[in-house]
């Protein structure tokens, strides 16, 4: 096996390890960002509902399939934010059949409005970890294949050019013989 091929194999092994570790980091960061953005969006919507309640709209007007508003004991302190991450059946309004379990993110907050205390809860379906992992794996797979092709081609071209003097020296050493009275030319 050529020395250059050994370097290439080691490079591929190290690159694979780095890509796998990088993939796990990317996955966890993307999952975290997706969750935080969904929570922020839902919380913003809940805060808007609270503003509408303060403006005098009734809870019944603001309640929907995704939003529930309940009156709770006014002596309980306000809940800034509570998040529940569960799996639930998703019913599409476009399809009559029930979808498989999806990841459901529920956010709750409570507000003292006048002499009442309302707990507002809203949920949304978000990307599941396996969906994000599939995207990360596919992206890293393409990156690895592109990197492999680039490394293979550049390795072939560059090694020929850079190692040309080395190979010429090896040829000269191999062809050298003490029996011949010819001087070695390195």
Q: What is the per-residue pLDDT for 93?
A: 56
Q: What is the per-residue pLDDT for 90?
A: 60
Can you tell me the distance from the alpha carbon of 148 to that of 142, in angstroms, rounded to the nearest whole number? 10
Q: What is the per-residue pLDDT for 100?
A: 66
Q: What is the per-residue pLDDT for 119?
A: 95
Q: What is the per-residue pLDDT for 99?
A: 60
From first to last of its 186 residues, what are the pLDDT tens digits of the chain? Answer: 677 678 778 888 888 898 889 889 999 999 899 899 999 999 999 999 999 999 988 899 889 888 999 999 999 999 999 998 887 766 655 555 556 677 889 999 999 998 899 999 999 988 888 888 898 889 988 998 898 888 878 877 887 788 788 888 888 888 877 777 777 776
Q: Give the pTM.
A: 0.69
Distances (CA, A) of 153 to 31, 117, 144: 35, 68, 14
């Amino acid at each position: 096996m050529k020395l250059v091929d050994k370097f290439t194999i080691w490079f591929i092994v190290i690159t694979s390890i780095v890509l796998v570790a990088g993939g796990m980091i990317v996955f966890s960061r993307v999952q975290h960002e997706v969750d935080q953005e969904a929570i922020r969006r839902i919380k913003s919507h809940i805060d808007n509902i609270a503003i509408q309640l303060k403006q005098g709209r009734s809870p019944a007007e603001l309640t929907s399939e995704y939003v529930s508003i309940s009156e709770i004991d006014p002596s309980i302190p306000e809940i800034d934010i509570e998040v529940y991450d569960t799996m639930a059946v998703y019913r599409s309004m476009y399809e009559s059949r029930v979808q498989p379990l999806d990841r459901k993110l529920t956010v709750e907050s409570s507000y003292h409005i006048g002499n009442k205390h309302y707990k507002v809860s809203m949920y949304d379906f978000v990307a599941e970890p396996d969906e994000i992992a599939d995207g990360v794996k596919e992206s890293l797979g393409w990156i690895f294949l592109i990197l492999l092709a680039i490394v293979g081609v550049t390795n072939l071209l560059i090694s020929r050019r850079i190692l040309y003097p080395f190979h010429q020296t090896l040829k000269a050493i191999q062809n050298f013989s003490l029996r011949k009275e010819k001087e070695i030319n390195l």
